[in-house]
Homo-oligomer: A and B are copies of this chain.
Amino acid sequence: MSGGMVSISTPTLRRLPHYLREIRKMKSNGKQYVSCTKLSDITGILPITVRKDMQQAGAVGKPKTGYDVEQVIVALETALGLDNDREAILIGAGNLGYALLGYKGFNLCGVDIIAAFDSDIKKIGQEYHDKKILSLSMLEDIIERFNIKLAIIATPPEPAQKIADRLAAAGITGIWNFSPVIIKVSDEVVVQNVDLTVSLSVLLSRVSKKKKTD
């Protein structure tokens, strides 16, 4: 659909979901138009930044009125790749895996976890949040049979790289990695890391810096 041949920068990509969430709220409140200044007020992001982000997302607005809510939602969803539903699998049904299996935010992104894998025989065959836990030996079979492209790694760090290798070989193109380790994959696979120790460290650093400068 044209519109977005331009590549979207990572900082912008990170802000888009916030706009989308707020605009969806407005839509359900019956609003028809939204302006950058309005979004700026809500999110705390500078109006000019919002405008630039909208531009990158391929949204087109009308001077004075702003952006059509329906249209801008479509633009943002397309830019974020939420426009087509996706099925995902999860590897590692520990504490974090369990929480992710019950996480509702996935629906907002059009993602549905169809199965989870673990190596613990005691877990295999059980259901967590209505999702079946399968043996890791079935990994490739399920990926290929259901043509899965998206995988979530929620294992300890040690097996993460090997799991990633198996996923890539089986045809996975996107890996959401919660394991605190840097995973190396070929260029065809996209890895998005959520390293909680990194995030916590950044918080601690900022807090103690603030304390020092007081």
**Which residue of the partner chain, among B80, B95, B194, B206, contacts A99 with CB atoms under 8 Å?**
B95
Chain A positions near chain B (C-beta within 8 angstroms): 7-8, 10, 13-14, 16-18, 20-21, 42-44, 79-84, 86, 95-96, 98-99, 102-103, 105-106, 108-111, 129, 149-150, 173-174, 176, 180-182, 184, 188, 190, 192, 194-211
A192-B199 Cα distance, complex, nearest whole Å: 7
Nearest B residue to A105 by beta-carbon distance?
B197
A190-B203, A190-B210 provided; 8 other pairs, C-beta below 8 A?
A10-B202, A18-B198, A20-B201, A81-B208, A173-B211, A174-B207, A176-B199, A176-B203
Nearest B residue to A192 by beta-carbon distance?
B203
- How close is A200's CB to chain B, nearest CB, in angstroms? 5
- How close is A84's CB to chain B, nearest CB, in angstroms? 8
CB <8 Å contact, B206 and A192: yes
Per CB-CB distance, the 6 closest pairs between chain A and chain B, nearest first, are A81-B208, A192-B203, A99-B99, A81-B204, A174-B207, A95-B102
Point out which of A13, A79, A176, A207 has the most chain B C-beta atoms below 10 A from its C-beta. Answer: A207
